[in-house]
Amino acid sequence: MVSRRRTGRIGIMLVPVAMTALLAGCMPGTDAGTAGNSVSSGPVSTDPATMGNITLQVLDSFSGGTDNAWMTSVVSAFEQKYPNITIKRTSLPWGDVMAALPLKLKSANPPDIVPANNGWQSLGTLVRGGLVLNLDNYAKAYGWKQTFPQSIANEHEFSTDGKQMGTGSMFGAPVARASVIEVYYNRALLKRIGAGIPSTLADFQADLAKAKSAGVNPISLGNVDQGGITEPLFSLMDSLGSPADIADFVYSHGLVNIDRTGFPKAVSTLKQWSDKGYLTKDYAGVAAADAAQDFVNGQGLFHFDYSGSLPLKAGQSKNFGSFVLPRADGGKPVATASSAANFSVSAKSKHADAAAAFLNFAAGTQAAELAVKKGTMPLLHPDVKAPAGDPLFTDDVAIAQRLSVDGASVPYLDWSTPTLLNTINTTMQNMLAGKSTPSAVVSAARQNDAAFVKTLAR
């Protein structure tokens, strides 16, 4: 009995604690809102040398491999050029950054520079919460809108009320490193089946048929962890749809119907490939990483993946090449492509001038040169050359150059709503397993988009 009475008393003591939490905790998410999103009128400084001694806190997701090598070299080049500015990096895995970003930006002392992901899931929400700085003054001062290809600049733009994407003010900036969905090919296998690098989608499908009849696995693909379908799907969409319509759909401009993006045809084409046995046997049970490894081990003619993501060992890259899936109409190839990161500046940053100067540097020529030096695909600077001796990387750099010159990048389809990626992945699995039809995938995507556009309450 003694112990029970005590428990009771302790319980009573805890009630005020709970009540305080209920009452003192303010309304969740009250914040600055979008009021502070318009550009300030004051002049901005673009000469870091005159800014005095400053320490910039940078949060990034370049936590390993070439990512980290590039970022480290860019930071030290910047510090060398401007010794009065010190950069303190915090590097976390991608998922951790995305989960922690809103909390970090709301804290009293947030990082100056953060890697918010483009699209509604991250950057769009942060803009609506007034947590990231409108960079238009800096874009003007540094001439970003003239030097960046428009298709890339759009990927970092939102209206100041946070209701429109792909237009309005720049709330982030690209870096001089690309992330592109491309097709890798095995040089020896392509030669063995007597095929060349395709220049139209029909050519590509002919190669698939040739590989199949020669007993070669046409496309190495694994999707058990929902990690292997969007790459070929988005590539097919870019091959079949008009780039302007794809961009307008993603940015919800003028309410473009998803039917005009090439998405429906892409879904049904992928189903045909699956039915014809062009994809790895039992791909539904293969892990995406295993499919990439199988491709590197020579078990597949083609593999759709992001640039720089093959698990290559030293010396293996000479066996492979890359290209962007050619257009169905034989026109200039279009690729789902963006900067490897969107860097935004915290709205609370006390060193916005210095932060913008670093953003400008990370998007500059020297950063692009460092990218090719570290073996990662450059962006924004079509004139940088790949070092000799790595044929796969030479292909990659050529792709980046062409996309830059042609302005042929389209944004990732899944930026258009926070939940579209999940919807596509689950409905595509259902469809490919024969549990539903391609039109069910399309209508699920259409509904997902319509529901989200409604919540923007324009």
Binding residues for another protein (CB under 8 A): 1-3, 6, 10, 14, 17-18, 21-22, 25, 27-31, 33, 95, 98-99, 102, 106, 121, 125-126, 128-129, 131, 223-226, 281-287, 290, 418-419, 421-422, 425-427, 429-430, 433, 435
In this complex, which beta carbon is closest to another protein, that of residue 133 or of residue 175? 133
Output the smallest distance, CB 25 to another protein, in A.
6
CA within 13 Å, CB half, 147: 19
Contact 454, 433 (CB under 8 A): no
- Cα(235)–Cα(239) distance, integer angstroms: 6
Instruction: Give least dist CB 261 to another protein, A.
Output: 21
Q: How far is the CB of 303 from another protein (least distance, A)?
A: 17
**Which SS3 state, helix, strand or coil, does residue 58 take?**
strand
Tokens representing residue 404 in the block: 């830059």
CB of 419 to another protein, least distance (A): 4
Shortest Cβ distance from residue 290 to another protein (Å)?
A: 7
Closest-CA residue to 418 (of 157, 213, 116, 122): 122
Contact (CB, 8 A) for 265 and 182? no
Report the alpha-carbon angle 409-415-419, nearest 5.
155
Nearer residue to another protein within complex by CB, 122 or 307: 122
Secondary structure class of 213 (helix, strand, coil): helix
C-beta of 247: minimal distance to another protein in Å? 22
CB nearer another protein, residue 303 or residue 381: 303
- Cα distances from 308 to residues 59, 181, 302, in angstroms, run 22, 10, 15
Nearer to another protein, 382 or 418 (CB): 418
Whichever of 121 and 235 has its CB closer to another protein, that residue is 121
Shortest separation between residue 97's beta carbon and another protein, angstroms:
11
Q: What is the dihedral of CA 172, 178, 179, 184, to 10 degrees?
A: 170
CB of 7 to another protein, least distance (A): 10
Closer CB to another protein, residue 292 or residue 372? 292
State both tokens at 11.
Answer: 């319980």
Distances (CA, A) of 391 to 142, 365, 369, 396, 399: 35, 23, 18, 9, 12
Least Å distance, CB 102 to another protein, is 5
Nearer to another protein, 110 or 241 (CB): 110
Sign of the Cα torsion 102, 103, 109, 112 reads negative
Closest Cα partner for 302 from 181, 180, 185, 201?
185
Q: In the complex with another protein, which residue's Cβ is closer, 285 or 330?
A: 285
Q: What sign for the dihedral angle of Cα 201, 207, 210, 216?
A: negative
Which is nearer to another protein, 128 or 374 (by Cβ)?
Answer: 128
266: left (phi over 0), alpha (psi -120 to 50) or beta: alpha
In the bound state with another protein, the residue whose beta carbon lies nearer, of 194 and 281, is 281
CB 28 to another protein: min, Å: 4
- Determine contact, residues 399/322, Cβ cutoff 8 Å: yes
Is 279 in contact with 291 (CB distance < 8 Å)?
A: no
